[in-house]
Structure 1
Amino acid sequence: MFDRGGNLTRRELLKAAVAAGGTAALSACLDRSGDPVPSGPDDPSTLPERQHAWNERVRTDEHGNRLLPRHQVLLYLTLPGDGVPDPAARQTVESALTALDRAYERSSDGLLSSIAYTPRYFDRFDTALPDSIDLPEPRPLSPFESPALDRQDALLHLASDRPEVVLAAEEALRGNEPRANGVAVETPLTSVFEVADRRTGFVGAGMPAERQEGLAGIPDSNPVPAESPLFMGFIAGFRENQATEDYVTLSAGPFAGGTTKHVSNLRMRLDDWYEEQTFEQRVAEMFSPVHAERGLVEGVGENLGDDSGLTPEMIENVREHAREYARVGHAQKAARGNRDADGNVRLLRRHFESTDDDEASLHFPSLQRGITAFEEVREAMNGTDLTDVPTIRQRVNNGILEYVFVKRRGNFLVPPRSLRALPTPEGATPGLD
């Protein structure tokens, strides 16, 4: 952890920087950063209209699975008062976000970002969102959870493979630094919004293992595999089990080109996961009992390639598997709700881990055309319909429910880029049009 002079090593410093935040963390990262950060275009109008268009701008593995940016920050934002935003506020928001567009290449080596708005934000206006926008208030999605509900006005999501980038972008938006990657940020975002909460995270092979020591929710034996991108020891986000960006994009209406976003935060308790369950039992509860019986998963699951290995037989016969194997898998349960009538995957999941509050947790952003799709997949994942099988209890032998606990939920509309600055429910930005 320390070099011979008693100083934090670069790895340890960068590991802690994003979670800590602030100008001191940024200065430490900049002092130790290497290559220059690529800049964005002089004309930001050349950027994609979809704020959520990240897939072609991140790294991929040898199987074509998209690798999400390694460092991520979620800023939950509140507008003072209860009135509608005025044109001056809208201009300030657009100016700040445009400065970031120019400062950083839109990529995982630069900065990926999006801003999204809650149902409560749109309630500020006299006109309601059109019925075609499926954006209900957040609510508990199982009979065994009682999450805090995120009802701030907006959510800004910042992501990069480089910790100094998310820190520098955040500090500039807060008005603590005048420039981001050499570009002046003349109007900080915090001159309009208050930061109600700041949450951070990471994802990538080796990162959870490097951060596991001393975390609440992780056994003292530090069992997270060194090659795992997630605390539970398996890879996720297989390309063939993800919705496409086209599929989750709204195709019509005032917010065509946008999408909806659900973000949940789940606390982990992995002592039993690692110390009572065998590897085969973990495979059975993460994927399916058939995966375990047939030895389909090796190590963290890289051998699966671009697909989780779930077959229609595994998905359709969950109840039969519950009776035969006395347990069911998380993936096979959720998959029951995650395909439309034509076989298309409905959700695009972009989850990442966290050590906020010194506990192991998971941030789970999900993109879909409407929030109802997420709620239906979550209902399938709950497996409540299987608890009449004697061996299946609501949180035991029922996928991974025994080990994860929902702390927070929030629902958001991610507008197209041209409407990202405090839009009205009609899909307008008065003062910018």
Structure 2
Amino acid sequence: MPPADRSRRDVLKAAVAAGSTAALAACLDLADDDPPRGDPSSKPARQHAWNDYVRTDEHGNVELPRHQTLLYLSLDRDGPPTEADRETVERAFSVLDEAYEWSSDGLLFSAAYSPAYFERFDAPLAGVDLPRPEPLSPFEDPVFDEQDALVHLASDRAAVALEAEHALTGGTDDANGVSVDATLTDALSVDSRRTGFVGAGLPAEHQDAAGIPDSEPVPEDAPLFMGFTAGFRENQASEDGVTLQSGPFAGGTTKVVANLRQRLEDWYGEQDYEERVMELFSPGHAADDLVEGVGNNLGANSRVDEYVGDLAGHAREYGRVGHAQKAARANRDEDGNVRVLRRHFESTDDVGSDRRVASLHFPSLQLEVSTFEDVRAAMNGTDVAESSPAVRQRVNNGILEYVFVRRRGYFLVPPRESRSLPAPEP
């Protein structure tokens, strides 16, 4: 990439991370053109309907919007929201509907609600598996995100991601020419703001972060810090497959969002390329020479399901097992359909003692939160660690040695018609 283009992308990514009014002005100054305006009547009924509105690669794999922001919000009152609160929140979202096309060139966004939010009501939440979060392994101790609401903004345009955020939080009077007449912060307070990025080139450009070796080992064409591609179409649940089909929230889905710190010094410093393939995919992928470069040659299928039958044998033969190999054991239903739709992206939001820290935001969509928990239990690989002395709970056991869960929250993403502070039975 020419230095001028890289410098421009650095400024845009840094602006989204900073989030200030000055950062928004910088983004807007660098924008080549105006984003496409929205048509509220054309928005899909599902808030999580993104796949048909984003870029895809030559194999049909979804390429998520490059710039993403998570806003965790708390309601400014005790008890349930009022009808006036709902009207205010809906007007705030309606500004974005009108301002931006529903696409990665415009803006994709969703509002989701936590178990703690629904506990504000006397009536129980109906027809949705949405427990309070708990630790999912004996070796993690995350902070649980139990704010009332989570708003997720995503766009290929840094200026749009930032302008939409400012429109929701009172930082601008208009969004793409649409007057802002209500904001989320008229009814809620922002408790936490988190940003990130994903896509070939972006991790390499931003690998000057704690947790990544100073040798800058992240490949130029890698979409993620660990150096490989992800999100293969045939290894992802469909949007239909994660959509609630009945009950008051039919058309919605459940969402888990985890934040993981990455410590990749040993990933790149002690493991060679073949060993990284073994630990991310499976030992069989390395033995059969399936992966080239960052793995784009795999096309639409990681082929990990071919290697889930004998993890104990792989552990004994190769002294390690693969992350995807373990998780895949629990990620298909009895009809062979993938159960979880992953939409993860990188971040350097957090600042350590001297510089920013490499981390991963991991949103996943599924019919039931228990599905995510099943897949996470399989990923823990506790059973595999008992089958070989070379595999321990966090060593040679997929990527557990390199990622550390810091935060996790559970949410319901309602259908669009009930996206604004819904009651348990809207």
TM-score (norm 1): 0.95
- Which of 338, 342, 346 is the matching residue for 1:353? 346
| 1:280 paired to 2:274 | yes
Distance in 2, Cα, partners of 1:264 & 1:298 = 29
Report the counterpart of residue 409 of structure 1 in structure 2.
408
| 1:160 paired to 2:162 | no
Contact 2:331 2:340 in 1 (8 A): yes
Letter matched to residue 122 of structure 1: F
Report the counterpart of residue 97 of structure 2 in structure 1.
101
* Cα-to-partner distance string for 1:31-73 (whole Å, 9 max, x where unaligned): 11102200001xx233111000000000000000000000000
Report the counterpart of residue 319 of structure 2 in structure 1.
326
> How far 1:15 sits from its partner (Å)?
2.5
Residue 235 of structure 1: SS of its match in structure 2?
coil
Moved more, 316-325 or 244-253: 316-325
Q: State the identity as a percent.
A: 66
Report the counterpart of residue 380 of structure 1 in structure 2.
378
Letter matched to residue 267 of structure 1: R
Report the counterpart of residue 390 of structure 1 in structure 2.
389
Report the counterpart of residue 229 of structure 2 in structure 1.
235
Distance in 2, Cα, partners of 1:233 & 1:411 = 28
> How far 1:81 sits from its partner (Å)?
2.8
Distance in 2, Cα, partners of 1:331 & 1:421 = 36
> How far 1:382 sits from its partner (Å)?
0.3
Distance in 1, Cα, partners of 2:234 & 2:199 = 19
Written as runs of structure 1 = structure 2, the 5 A alignment for 1:253-332 is 253-312=247-306, 314-332=307-325
Contact 2:305 2:328 in 1 (8 A): no
Residue 404 of structure 2: SS of its match in structure 1?
strand
Residue 115 of structure 1: SS of its match in structure 2?
strand
Contact 2:107 2:153 in 1 (8 A): yes
Report the counterpart of residue 250 of structure 1 in structure 2.
244
Contact 2:13 2:197 in 1 (8 A): no
Contact 2:382 2:393 in 1 (8 A): yes
- Which of 328, 331, 338 is the matching residue for 1:338? 331
Distance in 1, Cα, partners of 2:255 & 2:102 = 20
Q: Which runs of 5+ in 2 are unaligned?
A: 351-355
* Aligned pairs, number: 419
Q: Which runs of 5+ in 1 are unaligned?
A: 429-433
Root-mean-square deviation (CA, aligned residues, Å) is: 1.4
Residue 154 of structure 2: SS of its match in structure 1?
strand
> How far 1:83 sits from its partner (Å)?
1.2
Distance in 2, Cα, partners of 1:111 & 1:140 = 33
Distance in 2, Cα, partners of 1:16 & 1:56 = 28
* Cα-to-partner distance string for 1:275-327 (whole Å, 9 max, x where unaligned): 10000000000000011111110000010000002244x11111111111110
* Cα-to-partner distance string for 1:167-213 (whole Å, 9 max, x where unaligned): 00011111110110000110111111100000000000000000012
> How far 1:403 sits from its partner (Å)?
0.2
* Cα-to-partner distance string for 1:236-274 (whole Å, 9 max, x where unaligned): 000000000000000000000000000000000000000
Report the counterpart of residue 72 of structure 2 in structure 1.
76
Distance in 1, Cα, partners of 2:382 & 2:376 = 11
Report the counterpart of residue 66 of structure 1 in structure 2.
62
Distance in 2, Cα, partners of 1:410 & 1:52 = 17
| 1:225 paired to 2:219 | yes
Which 4+ runs in 1 deviate beyond 6 A? Answer: none
Report the counterpart of residue 108 of structure 2 in structure 1.
112
Residue 356 of structure 1: SS of its match in structure 2?
coil
Distance in 1, Cα, partners of 2:129 & 2:320 = 34
Distance in 2, Cα, partners of 1:364 & 1:278 = 26
> How far 1:338 sits from its partner (Å)?
0.2
Distance in 1, Cα, partners of 2:274 & 2:325 = 16
Letter matched to residue 61 of structure 2: N
* Cα-to-partner distance string for 1:360-402 (whole Å, 9 max, x where unaligned): 0000000000100000000000001111121110000100000
- Which of 197, 204, 207 is the matching residue for 1:209? 204
